């Protein structure tokens, strides 16, 4: 990625000022790169004036690095920065206002209620689901790809070198849990060995007791004979007959 494109350096400095981690900064840059049509400059929503006027949210159409829309979001930005963007919406095209709206807005969760720390921390870099901070899962994979490149570029230039980010760049953690067969489940053997099944037997009807006993015996037999050692001994015994 071109780390000098448009207002990239400005955004990095504002991100540093607000204490963004390297992987968080990478995702902010990726978002700006996508939302500004690869210009890294604050822009107004694409389309002719006639088209934009047809929008339900006119005149509060998409503006800035993050393309905020609707009156409610313009009011929120106005309240946060103390500037009247409602009456003067084109102020959002000025970098001095658009930059903090992008960075602080993503950090604090102004746009959807989701914020950077929900997906990107020292322990994880979930660049795909981080799209929910701005716009659902629209183009999530594409923007995640940009974030991976920005993360490497920021690391190369020394951004946040004192930050110990445990998650490898671009990796989503924690990893999905693996399902284990019951024969390899330590919880199952602990439960069975402690008499967990037997503890419930006295409190049920005798017919149910019989079913439970048979079930536990069959389950134990299955677990035992699916073990490699047990299968090997059984094969030796069959060969000896």
DSSP state of 174: S
3-state secondary structure of 35: helix
**How does residue 20 score in pLDDT terms, banded at 50, 70 and 90?**
very high
| pLDDT for 177 beyond 50 | no
**How does residue 173 score in pLDDT terms, banded at 50, 70 and 90?**
very low
* CB-based contact 23:125 (threshold 8 Å): yes
* CB-based contact 128:23 (threshold 8 Å): no
Mean pLDDT of the chain: 82
**pLDDT value, residue 199:** 52
| pLDDT for 133 beyond 60 | yes
**pLDDT value, residue 210:** 75
Q: Which among 154, 163, 121 is positioned nearest to 13, based on CA atoms?
A: 154
| pLDDT for 205 beyond 70 | no
* CB-based contact 104:54 (threshold 8 Å): no
**How does residue 175 score in pLDDT terms, banded at 50, 70 and 90?**
very low
φ, ψ for residue 68 (rounded to 5)? -70, 145
| pLDDT for 178 beyond 90 | no
- Whether the ω angle into residue 59 lies within 30 degrees of 0, i.e. cis, is yes
Q: What is the secondary structure of 98-129 as a DSSP string?
A: HHHHHHHHHHHTTTTS--HHHHBSSS-B-TTG
Mean pLDDT of 155-181: 61
| pLDDT for 21 beyond 50 | yes
Q: Which among 119, 139, 142 is positioned nearest to 21, based on CA atoms?
A: 119
Q: What is the pLDDT of residues 43-99, one digit of tens each?
A: 999 999 999 999 999 999 999 999 999 999 999 999 999 999 999 999 999 999 999
* CB-based contact 120:127 (threshold 8 Å): yes
Q: Which among 121, 113, 141, 146 is positioned nearest to 129, based on CA atoms?
A: 141
**pLDDT value, residue 218:** 73
Least confident of 70-74, 159-163, 189-193, 205-209: 189-193
Reported pTM:
0.68
* CB-based contact 172:126 (threshold 8 Å): yes
């Amino acid at each position: 990625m071109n780390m000098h494109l448009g207002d990239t350096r400005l955004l990095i400095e504002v991100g540093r000022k607000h204490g963004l981690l390297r992987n968080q900064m990478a995702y902010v840059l990726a978002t700006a790169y996508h939302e500004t049509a690869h210009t890294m400059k604050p822009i107004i929503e694409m389309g002719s004036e006639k088209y934009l006027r047809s929008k339900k949210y006119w005149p509060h159409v998409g503006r800035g690095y993050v393309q905020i829309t609707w009156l409610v979001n313009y009011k929120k930005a106005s309240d946060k920065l103390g500037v009247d963007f409602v009456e003067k919406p084109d102020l959002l095209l000025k970098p001095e206002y658009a930059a903090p709206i992008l960075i602080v807005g993503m950090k604090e969760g102004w746009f959807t209620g989701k914020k950077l720390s929900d997906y990107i921390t020292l322990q994880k870099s979930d660049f795909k689901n981080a799209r929910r901070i701005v716009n659902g899962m629209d183009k999530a994979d594409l923007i995640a790809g940009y974030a991976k490149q920005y993360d490497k570029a920021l690391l190369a230039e020394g951004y946040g070198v004192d930050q110990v980010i445990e998650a490898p760049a671009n990796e989503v953690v924690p990893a999905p849990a693996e399902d284990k067969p019951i024969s390899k489940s330590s919880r199952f053997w602990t439960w069975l060995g402690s008499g967990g099944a037997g503890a419930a037997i006295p409190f049920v009807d005798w017919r149910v007791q019989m079913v439970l006993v048979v079930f536990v015996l069959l389950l134990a037999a299955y677990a035992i004979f699916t073990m490699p050692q047990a299968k090997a001994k059984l094969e030796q015994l069959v060969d000896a007959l």
